[in-house]
């Protein structure tokens, strides 16, 4: 087993990584939410959105004790998006591809990807909050 000094070094490295990368991810989240909701870019709105999102993220971090749940849920959603949904949507956005057999297959694949994302999310939630129901 690793010595305590190596474990401490690993904890410091992970903590440094989180502290240094969190602002980058949060900036993208805040800017995306403001753009998606059509919030006007003003200093007041910028600060209010930052406080609201930071409160939600902090509340979730305090409420969710099991990191595996977050990993499972994000894996179910982003895995389906990356493998099934996004590539097919990109294909469907190509002009003059709407009526082909490939386009129909892409539409079916998007539906299947959505179904897999939902099923994976349900399994992740059940594993976390009702583990006895999956037997």
Query: Could you list the pLDDT tens digit for every one of the 135 residues in the chain?
Result: 557 888 899 889 999 998 899 889 999 999 999 999 999 999 999 999 999 999 999 998 898 888 889 899 999 999 999 999 999 999 999 888 777 899 999 999 999 999 999 999 999 999 988 888 776
**Domain count within the chain:** 2
81 and 106: one domain? yes
79 and 124: one domain? yes
22 and 73: one domain? no
- 24-49: b (≥16 Cβ within 10 Å) or e: eeeeebbeeebeeeeeeeeeeeeeeb
Domain enclosing residue 9, as ranges = 1-63
- 73-110: b (≥16 Cβ within 10 Å) or e: beebbeebeeebbeebeebeeeeeeeeeeebeebeebb
Please give the Cα distance from 68 to 38 (Å, whole number): 34
Please give the Cα distance from 91 to 78 (Å, whole number): 18
Is the full-model pTM beyond 0.85?
no
23 and 75: one domain? no
49 and 82: one domain? no
121 and 78: one domain? yes
pLDDT tens digits for 57-76?
Answer: 999 889 888 888 989 999 99
4 and 55: one domain? yes
Q: Which of 38, 63, 88 is the last residue of a domain?
A: 63
- Asked if residue 30 lies in contact with residue 50, where contact means CB atoms within 8 angstroms, the answer is yes
22 and 70: one domain? no
């Amino acid at each position: 087993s690793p010595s305590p000094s190596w474990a401490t070094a690993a904890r410091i490295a992970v903590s440094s990584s989180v502290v240094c990368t969190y602002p980058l991810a949060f900036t993208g989240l805040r800017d995306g939410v403001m753009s998606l909701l059509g919030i006007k870019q003003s200093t007041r709105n910028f600060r209010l959105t930052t406080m609201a999102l930071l409160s939600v993220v902090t509340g979730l971090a305090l409420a969710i004790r099991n990191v595996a749940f977050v990993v499972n849920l994000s894996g179910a959603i982003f895995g389906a998006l990356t493998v099934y949904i996004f590539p097919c949507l990109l294909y469907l956005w190509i002009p003059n591809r709407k009526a082909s057999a490939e386009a129909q297959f892409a539409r079916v694949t998007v539906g299947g990807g959505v179904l897999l994302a939902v099923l994976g999310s349900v399994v992740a939630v059940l594993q976390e909050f009702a583990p006895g129901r999956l037997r």
